[in-house]
Amino acid sequence: MRIVLLVIAGLALVGFIVVAYVLPSMAGTDARDAAQALLAGTAQAEQRVTAAAEKSGKLAGTGAGVSVSEKSDAKYGELKWLVDPDGTIHGWNQKNAIEIALTPKLQGGKVSWSCHGYPNASMPARCRR
């Protein structure tokens, strides 16, 4: 009888470990992958804004007419982006509750980009603060 109780207690402990540590870790991986997909989806918009800003010498209006099509992913859900007139690119994924923002900066005729996102733990290295 004592062995049976020890086996049951061991199984309960294993179940607790899975629920407490393994499942949240798996969810975090999905969010990190979704954040990376959001960031990857901005590449063409970044190129267009960069080219327009470096050609005109200003950021104002560089995002006009630049859009990124929504993407539906079986694993991550809907990935959506919006480009502001000043070239700032916003991306979000409701399923994983993540957001990113890429902000252009024009200095010396060249554009550099800064990225930040929420939640920070889900962000690729480029977007962590």
Strand segments, DSSP code E, in the chain are 71-73, 77-83, 89-93, 98-107, 110-118
Kindly give, in sequence order, each residue whose CB lies less than 8 Å from that of residue 93, ignoring residues fewer than 6 positions away: 34, 35, 37, 38, 76, 77, 78, 79, 80, 99
Q: Domain residues of the chain, as ranges?
A: 32-127
Q: What's the CA gap between 91 and 89, in Å, rounded? A: 7
pLDDT digits (tens, 9 = 90+) for 77-128: 999 999 999 999 999 999 999 999 999 999 999 999 999 999 999 999 999 8
- AA letter at 128: R
The first and second tokens of residue 88, run together, are 């700032």
- Whether the model clears a pTM of 0.75, i.e. scores above it, the answer is yes
